[in-house]
């Protein structure tokens, strides 16, 4: 996998060409001070939370000196830890409205899927800038986009900086049925494999509609994707809403930075799943899905990320500032009269992040 392969999968690189077959989206360039804010450590306090005193703040807070620290969450508590991003706020509000009032957020490559535990309704549904910032700030996947997007690239030299223009992507919210999503692997411009996207669940209709699904995906690939994407090797995700009705969701690099789901990357990279199924001119991709309900497994990726880093820090006692933030958050929730969730709920979600 090369740097260019990753760069071509950045949302702003592919969206203009494929906007007619994907979910309507808006893109907002992110200013450096917002990127610095995302990279700051610590728990972000939600709207209405009480501020912390300067003794409570950690050394990174020096970077925030001189800023009016109270606007993102509409709090006018002096000393709150949130810097203000008024222009970004108003752009986000404008685009949320233009996309129908509810959006799905992501950065150049990733959505904060690992951070839904912190959202009010445990989804990525966002209706306000603060919904989005809280998810972005709590996500390891976003942190990967910001700090290590080229980690697996063979031509990446960590000493040489690759400048990336970061964007916030807002996508119109779509009620996605996870059983209708598939991940498609393209190697040497051939569609070699298709995997059920939510590979830890069993859906009986996939087996029943197997041939139609493969046919639709091959058709979609041939009509819209083949030779239109600037790499020879890549992965694309799609959503088959109904027979013959397919939406593109995303492009991902062909390599282990992308979850192979029901495929193994060694297998995809070294062998060609097409072998043995290749007649003279018609190539049939390998199609993998969970065929029996006992095949349901916990998602290893999200199991790893399902335990919030802040909870780990709290449990290990390595960051006392986070404990102070958490206690203040709990106190402000009690003051608001919002019973919300107790710690027992968080513990249950650690073992089953879905
Ligand atoms: N506009 C949307 N509205 C609602 N849900 C969405 C939307 N776009 C994507 N999703 C859901 O979120 C999931 C992740 O979206 P997406 O592929 O864009 O994120 P990602 O971070 O690139 O994921 P991955 O790391 O697996 O490539 C999708 O599989 C889909 O279920
Ligand atoms: Mg993706």
| Ligand 1 close to Cβ of residue 174 (< 6 A) | yes
pLDDT value of residue 328:
67
Query: Are residues 276 and 149 located together in one domain of the fold?
Result: no
Q: Is residue 23 in contact with ligand 1, taking CB distance under 6 Å?
A: yes
Is 282 within a domain?
yes
CA distances from 220 to 5, 199, 225 (A): 22, 22, 7
Is residue 116 a part of any domain in this protein?
yes
Domain that holds residue 236: 178-297
Q: Does 40 reside within a domain?
A: yes
Whether 159 and 206 map to the same domain: the answer is no
User: What's the pLDDT at 60?
Assistant: 40
Residues 50 and 144 in one domain: yes
| Structure token digits, residue 278 | 């290749």
pLDDT at 292: 87
Q: Ligand 1 within 6 A of 140 CB?
A: no
Q: Which of 249, 266, 297 is the last residue of a domain?
A: 297
Strands 103-106 and 167-172: antiparallel
Strand, helix or coil for residue 194: strand
Cα(304) to ligand 1 centroid in Å equals 18
* Residue 316 located in a structural domain: no
Per-run averaged pLDDT (10 residues), the chain, 354 residues: 95 98 98 93 47 36 36 44 83 97 98 93 94 94 94 87 94 96 97 95 95 96 97 97 91 95 93 55 84 66 52 54 65 56 30 29
Most informative mutation of 6, 104, 302 for ligand 1 (most atoms within 8 A of CB) = 104
250 CB under 6 A from ligand 1?
yes
State in Å: Cα 235 to ligand 2 middle. Answer: 9
Same domain, 82 and 196: no
Q: Which of these three, 117, 137, 172, is where a domain ends?
A: 172
Overall domain count for the chain: 2
Q: Which parts of 12-70 are beta strand (E)?
A: 25-29
Cα(111) to centroid of ligand 1, in Å?
A: 6
| 252 alpha carbon – ligand 2 mean position (Å) | 5
Give domain status of residue 348, yes or no. Answer: no
What confidence score (pLDDT) does residue 294 get?
A: 66
């Amino acid at each position: 996998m090369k740097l260019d392969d990753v760069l071509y999968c950045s949302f702003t690189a592919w969206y203009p060409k494929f906007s007619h077959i994907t979910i309507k989206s808006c893109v907002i360039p992110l200013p450096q001070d917002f990127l610095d804010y995302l990279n700051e450590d610590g728990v972000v306090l939600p709207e209405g939370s009480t501020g912390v005193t300067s003794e409570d703040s950690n050394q990174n807070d020096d970077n925030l000196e001189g800023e009016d620290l109270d606007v993102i969450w509409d709090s006018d508590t002096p000393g709150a830890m949130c810097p203000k991003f008024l222009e970004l706020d108003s752009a986000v509000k404008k685009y949320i409205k233009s996309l129908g009032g509810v959006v799905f957020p992501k950065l150049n490559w990733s959505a904060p899927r690992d951070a839904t535990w912190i959202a009010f309704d445990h989804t990525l549904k966002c209706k306000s800038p603060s919904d989005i910032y809280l998810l972005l700030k709590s996500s390891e996947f976003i942190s990967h986009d910001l700090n290590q997007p080229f980690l697996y690239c063979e031509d990446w030299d960590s000493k040489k900086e690759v400048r990336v223009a970061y964007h916030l992507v807002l996508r119109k919210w779509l009620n996605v049925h996870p059983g209708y999503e598939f991940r498609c692997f393209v190697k040497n411009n051939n569609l070699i494999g298709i995997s059920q996207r939510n590979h830890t669940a069993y859906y009986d209709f996939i087996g029943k509609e197997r041939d139609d699904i493969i046919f639709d995906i091959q058709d979609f690939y041939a009509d819209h994707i083949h030779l239109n994407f600037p790499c020879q090797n890549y992965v694309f995700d799609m959503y088959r809403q109904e027979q013959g009705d397919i939406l593109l969701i995303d492009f991902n690099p062909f390599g282990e930075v992308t979850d192979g789901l029901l495929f193994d990357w060694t297998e995809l990279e070294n062998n060609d799943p097409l072998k043995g199924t290749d007649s003279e001119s018609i190539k049939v991709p390998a199609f993998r899905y969970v065929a029996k309900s006992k095949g349901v497994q916990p998602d290893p990726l999200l199991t790893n990320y399902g335990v919030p880093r802040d909870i780990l820090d709290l449990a290990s006692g390595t960051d006392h500032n986070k404990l102070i933030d958490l206690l203040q958050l709990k106190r402000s929730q009690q003051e608001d009269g919002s019973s919300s969730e107790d710690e027992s709920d968080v513990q249950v979600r650690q073992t089953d992040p879905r």
